[in-house]
Amino acid sequence: MDVPSTALFTDQYELTMLQAALRAGTADRRSVFEVFTRRLPEGRRYGALAGVGRVLDAVENFRFDPAVLGFLRERDIVDGPTLDWLAGYRFSGDIWGYPEGEVYFPGSPVLRVEGSFAECVLLETVILSILNHDSAIAAAASRMSAAAGGRGLIEMGARRTHELAAVAASRAAYVGGFDSTSDLAAGFRYGIPTVGTSAHAFTLLHDTERDAFRAQIDSLGRGTTLLVDTYDVAEAVRAAVEIAGPELGAVRIDSGDLLLVAHRVRAQLDELGARDTKIVVTSDLDEYAIASLAAAPVDAYGVGTQLVTGSGHPTCSMVYKLVARAASADPKAPLVPVAKKSLGGKASVGGRKWAARRRDAQGVAEAEVVGTGPVPDALAADQLLVELVKGGEVVAREPLEAARARHIAARAALPVSATQLSRGEPVLPTEYA
């Protein structure tokens, strides 16, 4: 499952730009690239940054080994001098960014990559690929987490997306507030708690539903979760408690009117003495369906398709733009702000930026402030960017739990309207200083 080199997770024009810059003598100019989004997906009130840890891994593994160089040579993608340069490629610059799990808004410089133009430009595609995908999943997960109101959330979308994307999606969902995953690769790679018991096929395999329940309980114990909607739900619940006793861990409902069925199942479980047996619901849930079940006696939700597709927004539309560069290859040459001037909303703001989140007297965030030059004293303690890579060495690795906790805290510090599911503008304005 490990990818030895991430160097070809890129677009061809990154390499052709490199070749041209090497020939022109501009490849060594000190440069600053920033990652940001011009707008949030329609109706979203905040973004959730995920994938930073994966970006750090990708930068470390961005190496042009003999097989990769052979491919580039055979396809005649770049010339010999460029291949020689790529053979020794190691990112030696600095990367600053919002820590993983932080929230962001339009214009937030969530990542800043500094070094020579040559070494920075090559990282554009792989960085955007990771951050756009993972942050889209994390944003959907965050909305679902807020809607769940503290009830359990299980990520179970592996069968609804690419097998490797499923692992990244599970990681991003965990950052966004999910508690566990059904995907064992995600558990293996990232230490995310894994769960799972049986599907309808297991019930259909056996001659009777009772035989299936008995087999599962004999194998997994009374604390297991039994799927009760293969045939008749009420009969299945009755059989489940008779076989497992009041120690039955949980029942799962995967179809029907979940609000109505959950109430009926809870009443039936209580009548049968299984008051501690939990109820898990699945079946094409999204944040709106989860919110609609707030009054139902549900203990946990399992979410698949809508989660791993970003609940309608599978990308964050982040971009990677050159915002400053030196006028020469002299390491002492000052940085000159540069920016794209374009119609259609694609203009960018030049200059190496800092970002801070201004808070009111109660500690609630009230604005995202982005600026160039000195940071105002009043915002010095509220800066958002942290050093991630220094001189090519990763300096900010952290457990995934830290990113998850950070996201929950950052979301809690936003105005209450941030977690409303009704469509609206970003909950914080972005101010430029």
* pLDDT tens-digit readout, 305-337: 999 999 999 999 999 999 999 999 998 899 999
Q: What is the pLDDT of residue 1?
A: 44
- Structure-block tokens of residue 239: 């059989």
Burial of 100 (0-12, 13-18, 19+ CB in 10 A): buried
> Using CA atoms, how far apart are residues 227 and 184, in angstroms rounded to an integer?
20
Amino acid at 125: T
| Chain centroid offset of residue 247 CA | 36
Convert the pLDDT of each residue in 370-382 to its tens digit.
Answer: 999 999 999 999 9
> Using CA atoms, how far apart are residues 208 and 224, in angstroms rounded to an integer?
19
Amino acid at 356: A
Q: Which residues pair with 431 in a beta bridge?
A: 369
Q: Give the residue from 176, 140, 181 showing the smallest Cα distance to 44.
A: 140
DSSP code string of 191-214: ---B-----HHHHHHSSSHHHHHH
Amino acid at 152: G
- Structure-block tokens of residue 177: 């507030």
- Structure-block tokens of residue 198: 């049986």
Q: Which runs of consecutive H residues, i.e. helices, occur in 176-286?
A: 184-190, 200-205, 209-220, 233-244, 258-271
- Ranges of residues in the chain with a pLDDT under 70 are 1-3, 344
> Using CA atoms, how far apart are residues 160 and 180, in angstroms rounded to an integer?
17
- CA-derived radius of gyration, the chain: 25
Q: What is the pLDDT of residue 3?
A: 59
> Using CA atoms, how far apart are residues 187 and 228, in angstroms rounded to an integer?
27
CB atoms within 10 A of CB 73: 13
Residue 344, phi-psi category: left (phi > 0), alpha (psi -120 to 50), beta (remainder) = left
Pairing of strands 430-432, 365-372: parallel
| 394: enclosing H helix or E strand | strand 393-394
Q: Give the residue from 323, 392, 325 showing the smallest Cα distance to 355.
A: 323
> Using CA atoms, how far apart are residues 345 and 358, in angstroms rounded to an integer?
26
∠ CA 21-26-28, nearest 5°, is 105
Convert the pLDDT of each residue in 369-420 to its tens digit.
Answer: 999 999 999 999 999 999 999 999 999 999 999 999 999 999 999 999 999 9
Contact 331, 30 (CB under 8 A): yes
> Using CA atoms, how far apart are residues 138 and 133, in angstroms rounded to an integer?
9
Residue 149, phi-psi category: left (phi > 0), alpha (psi -120 to 50), beta (remainder) = left
> Using CA atoms, how far apart are residues 24 and 94, in angstroms rounded to an integer?
24
CA distances from 158 to 126, 154, 304 (A): 22, 12, 7
Task: List the domains of the chain with CATH numbers.
Answer: 12-136+313-432 (3.20.140.10), 197-286 (3.20.20.70)
CB atoms within 10 A of CB 221: 11
DSSP tag of 158:
G
> Using CA atoms, how far apart are residues 44 and 105, in angstroms rounded to an integer?
10
Q: What is the pLDDT of residue 318?
A: 98
